[in-house]
Amino acid sequence: MTKQTQQDTSTGRLKFWRRSNLARGAAVLGVLAGVATGTWAVEETAKLASIGLRGIFPNAAPPELSAEEFARLDGNWAEWSKGAAEAVSQFYAKLESADAAGQREALGVLKSKLDVMQRAIDDPRYKSLLAPLTLLRSRLSQRVDFAEGALDTLELDPQKVRGAKLVENGKSVTASINDLKAYVSGIPNGQLWIPYVKADAVQKGLAADPASEATITTVREAKDRIAGRAGLSDATQKEFLSRAAFVNYEKALDDYLTAVTWQAPKPNDPELRTQLKALLDAADSYAVTRSSEDAGKARVAFTAIGKLAADGGDRLSAVLQRHIFNYNVRIVATEEFLNRLMSEARTEKGPVTDFVLGANVSGNQTTATRVTFDLRPSNRNARFDLTLNGTIQSNTVGVTSEATVYTQGNHTFVAKKEVTFDGLKFVTGPGTISVNPHNTTTGIATAMSGGLFGGIAQNIATQEVEARRGQAEAIAASRVRENVLPKFNAEVDKNFAEAGGRLEKEVFKGLKDTGLYPDAFVYQSTESTLNLDSRLMKDTELGADLPVTTAPTDRGATLLMHETAVNNAIDRMGLAGQTVTEPQLREKLEAFFSKALNKEVKLSPPPKVAKAEGDAKEEDEDKGPGIIVFAAADPIRVQFENGELTLVIRAGFKQEGKDDIPTREITVPITFEIKDNKILVTRGAVRVVAAGGEGGGIAINGVVRKKIQSALPDREVDAKVEIKGPKATAVTNVSAIKLIDGWIHISVN
């Protein structure tokens, strides 16, 4: 080899190694970059996880949880309330310095404070502090629960979430297999299809380890077997594998396999943190403003969290379901109250014509019955027995060729029929009856009565009657069952079938047409109360928090309505952006309520306030602007808090011959007091300010204030209420009105 050749070879080798080294270098750099990026990502995730709620929660307590608010708990509570306020302040301060573990420790302290407050709320000795205790506990509880839910969401382990999904879906697959086996067991040779679709193998694998590769492989094979039915040449087999039990099994397998391929979002994703903050900010703002804008922002943020959180937002959803998505209308009615609406008494008289034990029986009878309402426990629907208590009193004469027997009957019976109601339809069960017959012989006459052997014949007849008493009473009981039970069954079935139809036509239709039909509801019953919980909320709105537990009186009922139910209902009225006169507004409201309630509703104009003679000029001024221009959003809002209903109106006004009044925010506090069977409705000081920076000064605000004072004078309303039921009208009185923590409680006795 020449020197040149050696040099060329050496050069070629050098070039080769340079290229190889370059490639290797690039590969190494790529690996290093990947490691560096992965390490950075892990470190960034760990860093975000370590700061917990920092940047999501504010670093200072909100005004609603300030020391001044806690100071409302004075007297013997002064020292405790001071410590509670400090604990709240320390929690928010720690967000800047403590890691997630330290934040959880601070939350533990706050939870102990909540426990003390709840025990005090449940204790009648602290009744005078119920309002501030309830309000503070509600505000603190919402933030503590949200903080824990947010931390749990941020710290979710995706692998554990995936494992939980597989377990849950595995249970569904197992349930579908059990249904499938039950189905094929009734079909000749049906069991032969169980091995074909690998049902036993799948069930065994899921029982051993739902997340193992072997189980996943078996599930995929089972899915392929069923999905392969399309390729079967036998049309009968293809049709059989397409039946509901196999289709449900296939769907359960599909859901399981979807969980297998589920890709977890990045833990502690920055965007997730952004949306958690947006949700908290919107919820906090809504608690102050009650604005539809803040409600919408909260819903948008929660939807985004569902896409970003490893659990789809489930952990946080549980918090929101408790605090801002809860039922906002609740009714608790006692059994005694329901009986005033449902019970019915009847008295019927008629002749008796029968043939019993060889005797022709005739006479008359009086049947007195009363239907009562007997509640039964149920967590899923309203469950009750309609109970028919009856007494049959009869006077009869039984005639045979040997004797005439005079009998007085006094038979009692109890018939029962179970009825359930799920909020949509009534379902009746079969009736039962028990009878307690009782006959008293009041006289016996024989053909020999009055003769020489009359006494002997009388004794023989008496003994015969007594010997047959048991048989006669059994026949009497049978007659009662035959006459009462079929009629009772038929009448109850008919009445409740008609009641279901009337509900849909007379109640539900109007609510649906006006948007007032609840989006969620549940009926429940106990031995003594019937409970209805419902929610009026669209996907852009919010619902309620849990109310303070308030049991009705032993004889009455209580309506609990959250301010969100009222505000959401107001939004259905279409007042936003409307320009109307007072009569037009009244007509609009009358039309809305008439449609909703499926009956004519007339609203009374405000009562005129008597004026002294010579006050014509002042009266003209009090008339004020006659045309209302409602704001484009949230024209009317209510708040229930601290014993007051606060009415907030956002509207401008048009004045004849004068400049228009820009949008004002008008706040009207209203209190309720029950005195001498009257409800005293008292308006507090009206506050008027410019809304949204719109113009106008003190003089304009004064004009508006006078207008509102004239439209909303103090009133005195009769506390008597007539509530119509299907069988009766209950006349009752409003016994209590409480406004606390966003809820109005109205009790009737």
> Is residue 454 scored above 80 in pLDDT?
no
State the average pLDDT over residues 434-460. 68
Number of Cβ atoms within 10 Å of the Cβ of 247 = 13
* Domain membership flag for residue 587: no
CATH number of the domain within which 722 lies: 3.15.10
* Domain membership flag for residue 436: yes
**Counting Cβ atoms within 10 Å, is residue 466 exposed (0-12), middle (13-18) or buried (19+)?**
exposed
Are both 347 and 486 inside the same structural domain? yes
Pairing of the two strands 557-562 and 329-334: antiparallel
Counting residues of the chain whose pLDDT is more than 70, the rounded percentage is: 85
Q: From residue 88, how far is each of 83, 196, 610 by CA, in Å?
A: 9, 63, 53
CA 718 – CA 629 distance, rounded (Å): 33
* Domain membership flag for residue 646: yes
**Helix, strand, coil % (nearest 5) of the chain?**
50, 25, 25
In the chain, the amino acid numbered 148 is: E
Buried b (16+ CB within 10 A) or exposed e, 528-543: ebbebbbbbbeeebbb
Q: Which two tokens stand for residue 198?
A: 């690998």
Instruction: Tell which of 230, 260, 290 closes a domain.
Output: 260
* Domain membership flag for residue 209: yes
Number of Cβ atoms within 10 Å of the Cβ of 249 = 24
Are both 341 and 198 inside the same structural domain? no
Chain position carrying tokens 């408790």: 322
Q: Which two tokens stand for residue 622?
A: 């009090």
pLDDT for res 610: 54
CA 270 – CA 456 distance, rounded (Å): 108
Instruction: Tell which of 260, 289, 314 closes a domain.
Output: 260
Are both 249 and 363 inside the same structural domain? no
Task: Collapse the DSSP code of 461 into the 3-class scheme (helix H, G, I; strand E, B; otherwise coil) and give the result.
Answer: helix
568 near 534, Cβ under 8 Å?
A: no
Instruction: Tell which of 226, 241, 260 closes a domain.
Output: 260
Q: Which two tokens stand for residue 718?
A: 């009769």
pLDDT for res 198: 93
- Looking at 636-737, list the stretches that DSSP marks H as alpha helix, in order from N- to C-terminal side: 698-711
pLDDT for res 11: 40
Closest C-alpha among 270, 272, 261 to residue 303: 272
State the average pLDDT over residues 697-725. 87
Are both 354 and 444 inside the same structural domain? yes
* Domain membership flag for residue 136: no
Closest C-alpha among 742, 303, 325 to residue 538: 325
The residues, any chain, with a CB within 8 Å of residue 461's CB and separated by 6 or more, are: 402, 403, 405, 444, 446
For the stretch 136-168, pLDDT in tens is 999 999 999 999 999 999 998 888 888 888 899
* Mean pLDDT, all residues of the chain: 85
CA 50 – CA 436 distance, rounded (Å): 76
Task: Collapse the DSSP code of 532 into the 3-class scheme (helix H, G, I; strand E, B; otherwise coil) and give the result.
Answer: strand
Continuous segment of H or E residues that includes residue 390: strand 382-399
Task: Collapse the DSSP code of 640 into the 3-class scheme (helix H, G, I; strand E, B; otherwise coil) and give the result.
Answer: strand
C-alpha Rg value of the chain to the nearest Å: 39
Tell whether the torsion through CA atoms of 369, 370, 371 and 372 is positive or negative.
Answer: negative
Are both 344 and 204 inside the same structural domain? no
597 near 506, Cβ under 8 Å?
A: no
For the stretch 518-553, pLDDT in tens is 999 999 999 999 999 999 999 999 999 988 766 566
CA 532 – CA 619 distance, rounded (Å): 47
Neighbouring C-alpha atoms within 13 Å toward the C-beta of 424: 5
> Is residue 12 scored above 90 in pLDDT?
no
Chain position carrying tokens 């004794």: 459
Chain position carrying tokens 């919107």: 282
* DSSP one-letter string for 13-49: HHHHHHHHHHHHHHHHHHHHHHHHHHHHHHHHHHHHH
Are both 343 and 485 inside the same structural domain? yes
Range of lowest pLDDT (10-24, 190-204, 614-628, 686-700): 10-24
555 near 610, Cβ under 8 Å?
A: no
Task: Collapse the DSSP code of 376 into the 3-class scheme (helix H, G, I; strand E, B; otherwise coil) and give the result.
Answer: strand
Q: From residue 612, how far is each of 240, 617, 711 by CA, in Å?
A: 90, 11, 19
Are both 341 and 435 inside the same structural domain? yes
Torsion of CA 613, 618, 622, 627, to 10 degrees: 110
Are both 651 and 547 inside the same structural domain? yes
Length of the chain equals 749
Are both 338 and 482 inside the same structural domain? yes
Closest C-alpha among 236, 124, 243 to residue 179: 243
Q: Which two tokens stand for residue 340?
A: 């005033």
For the stretch 280-320, pLDDT in tens is 999 999 988 899 999 999 999 999 999 999 989 999 999 99
Q: Which two tokens stand for residue 331?
A: 């009714």
> Is residue 594 scored above 90 in pLDDT?
yes
How many domains, the chain?
Answer: 4
Buried b (16+ CB within 10 A) or exposed e, 223-238: bebbeebeeeeeeeee
- Name the phi and psi angles at 105, rounded to 5: -65, -45
> Is residue 42 scored above 50 in pLDDT?
no
State the average pLDDT over residues 478-498. 91
pLDDT for res 453: 52
Residue 669: domain span: 543-577+622-748
Taking phi over 0 as left and psi of -120 to 50 as alpha, with beta for the rest, 276 belongs to alpha
* Domain membership flag for residue 450: yes
61 near 89, Cβ under 8 Å?
A: yes
Taking phi over 0 as left and psi of -120 to 50 as alpha, with beta for the rest, 295 belongs to alpha
Are both 552 and 639 inside the same structural domain? yes
Most confident of 118-127, 204-213, 292-301, 591-600: 292-301
pLDDT for res 448: 55
- Name the phi and psi angles at 332, rounded to 5: -125, 120
Confidence of residue 597 (pLDDT cuts 50, 70, 90): confident
> Is residue 656 scored above 60 in pLDDT?
yes
* Domain membership flag for residue 714: yes
544 near 744, Cβ under 8 Å?
A: no
Are both 568 and 428 inside the same structural domain? no
For the stretch 72-91, pLDDT in tens is 898 889 999 999 999 999 99
Range of lowest pLDDT (39-43, 199-203, 575-579): 39-43
> Is residue 368 scored above 80 in pLDDT?
yes
* Domain membership flag for residue 250: yes
pLDDT for res 727: 63
pLDDT for res 446: 66
Are both 452 and 549 inside the same structural domain? no
Confidence of residue 657 (pLDDT cuts 50, 70, 90): confident
pLDDT for res 47: 52
For the stretch 84-143, pLDDT in tens is 999 999 999 888 888 999 999 999 999 999 999 999 998 988 988 888 898 899 999 999
In the chain, the amino acid numbered 520 is: A
